[in-house]
Chains A and B, each alone.
Chain A
Amino acid sequence: MIDKNDKSAIIRMFHVHKNYGSKKALININLDVSKNEFLFITGPSGAGKSTLLKLLYLGEPVSEGQILIDGMNLSRISRKRIPLLRRKLGIIFQDYKLIPTKTVFDNVALVLEAMGKKRRFVQKKVNSVLRMVGMEKRFNALPQSLSGGEQQRIAVARAVVGMPKIILADEPTGSLDPESAGTVFDLLKGFHARGGTLLVATHDQELIRKTGCRAIHLKEGRQIK
C-alpha cells in the first residue's frame, strides 16, 4: 500500500552528469522527488529530458554522480537487481513501445508474467486495468490496428498494471490529438490520486500551467529552476 502522507524523497539525484563522448547531455543535476509528487521535466528538444528519465530506469548508466530510487543506489546496483528496480517503475514512452506481434492483452499481461504472477491473477488484473483505460473490448487486437491515442492508453495500462511506485512518462501526449491527450493525462492523474509518484517529461507548457504541479526546466543539459 502507498502511504499518501509519507512525503520523504523517493528519488534523489546528486551531482549527476551524463556524457556521450565529448558531448555533455546532462550537467550537475541535483533533484529530490517526494513520494506521491507529480513532477514535470520541461525544456526544448535536446535539453536532456529523455536522457534524465533514461538514467532513472537505467536505460543508460550515469557518467558521474549518484541516483537513489526507493533506497536503491543505481551506481552500485548489480545486473541481476535491475529487473527489481524496473518493477518499481512504470515507463511510458512517446513511441509507446508495444510489442507488435502480441495482442493488447498480452502486452499488458507481460509485466505481471515477468513478475511471476499466477495466471488467474494476471487475467483478473489485466481485464480490470483495460477497463480502467477503456480498452477492454480491444483486448485481442494487435497494436498496429489501434490509433495513436489507443496505443498510448495501452502503454499507460502496461505502466500501471504492476502497481509501481513511480511512473516515468516521456512525452506521453506529445504525438496525440487534444482529446486523446486529455484521456491519457486523466489516467496519469488517476495514478497520482492513488498515491503514485509521477515524473513527466514534456514541452507542453499549457499542461504544466493547468495542473499547477512543480516543474524543473532543463536547457542544454543544465537544470534552470
Chain B
Amino acid sequence: MLKIDIQNLRKITNAFLEEGKAVYAPRPLGMGDFAFDRIENHEDFQIEGFVNTLLPPKEIFFRQMETIGRFGWKKKGLCEDVEPEIEDKVLLGIRPCDLEGLLLIDAFYDRVGADMPYKRRREKTFIIAYACPEPADTCFCVETDSGPWAKRGFDWQLHWLDEGIYLLEVGSEKGKDMADRFADLMEKAGEDDFKLLEVKRKETLGKFKNRPYVKKGIGNITKVGGEVYRYLGERCFRCGGCNYLCPTCTCYNVADIGAREGERVLFWDSCQFEGYSRLAGNLNPRPDQGSRLKFRFECKLAEWNVETYGRIRCTGCGRCIYTCIGDADIDLFLKKASET
C-alpha cells in the first residue's frame, strides 16, 4: 500500500485535467449538499466530510434523460443518431456501494447485450474509490457485502487515515502503472499506517446502525406474504425516487418528443409506475402497488440475482430509504420480511 495526502491528490488530479481527461468527482454545492459532477479545476472537489452524493455517479454514464436521435419532416426529412461523447474519464471519490452498483449495471448490460450509451461511456474509466469512514443512519452496505470499503472494481482505493491523509490501495494493472507514474507524489505505507487503518476500520464498522434483519429478510424473500406488500403498497405514492436514486437500477424508456420535428429521448423509468408494466388493452400483470413493490424488491434481492450476477443487486447505499415519500422503503420491507 501507498500513502498520499490531499495536496498531492490534487496535483495528480491537475495532471489528469491538463492532459485532457474528464475528471468526475464530488463537488460541494453549498449548504451541505454534494453532487458527483465533472470538475474543471483540481481545487473543485471534496471527497471527505460527507457521506455520499444524493445522485449516484451512475448518472454520469446512464443519464437521467438524453437525446439519442433527432427527426423532422422538413425539406428532405431528418433522421439522425446522436452519439454519446467519448471521453477518457477519471472517477474520483466514488463510494464502494456506488462502485458495486456500476459493476452490477455493467454485468446487466453485458448480459442483455444492449447497445447503450452507458456502455460506451463506461469504457476508459479510471476509478479511484473512497472507502467510507463514516456511515449515515440509512447505510447498510455492511449487510449487503458492498462496503464500507471496496473489494473489487477499482484502480485505486483511498482509505481515510486522518484529515487529508489516505492510504492508497492499488486494485488493477492500470492502477499500478498509474501509481508508478506518480510515484514521487506518494510514499510507501509503513507498519504504523496499517495499524492505524485497522483501528479506523473498526471504528467505522462500530458506527453502523445494527440491522440484523437485513440478511434474515433477504433469506425470507420468497415467503413474504401478501399482507406485507399490501401494507407497503398503500404507503407507496409512486414518485419513482427509489428507482431513480438506485445505483443498480437499469430500466429506461424511450420516447419521441415532438410531432413534426423533435427528439428521440432515452430516460430513466421506474417499475413503480402503473404504466411501466401496463400492456395493450390496459391489462396489467402487476395491477396494484403491492405487486409492483414485490417486483422491485425481488429484482434487487431474490436468489436468482446471486445465480445471475453472483450477488444480490442492492448495495446498501440507503438512498431509497430517505427519498421515500411514503413509508414503503427497503429497510421497512426487510424488517417485515425478517418477521415472516
A and B part of one assembly: no
